[in-house]
Amino acid sequence: MVRVEAEKVEPIPTTLKRNTQSILSGVYSFDGKSIGIIDEDKLAHQLAKVLT
């Protein structure tokens, strides 16, 4: 887990698959790699849909 400053979070690229975009709040570049930031509320909502 890494603490990220809000101004360093970039928008989600349109090249990501739609289902992946649905749980992300942004993307952060770390050590030369792009890391998706998961929105916990969106993830919980998607999990609830799958489990019901």
pLDDT of residue 7: 94
In a domain, 1, yes or no: no
Q: Is the dihedral of CA 41, 26, 33, 1 positive or negative?
A: negative
How many C-beta neighbours within 10 Å does residue 41 have?
Answer: 10
Which residue range forms the structural domain that includes residue 22?
6-51
SS3 for 39? coil
How many domains does the structure of the chain reveal?
1
Per-residue pLDDT tens, the chain, 52 aa: give them: 778 889 999 998 888 877 676 889 999 998 999 899 999 999 999 899 899 8
In a domain, 23, yes or no: yes
Residue 1 CB partners (closer than 8 Å, separation 6+) = none
pLDDT of residue 14: 84
In a domain, 16, yes or no: yes
pLDDT of residue 22: 80
In a domain, 42, yes or no: yes
pLDDT of residue 48: 92
pLDDT of residue 19: 67
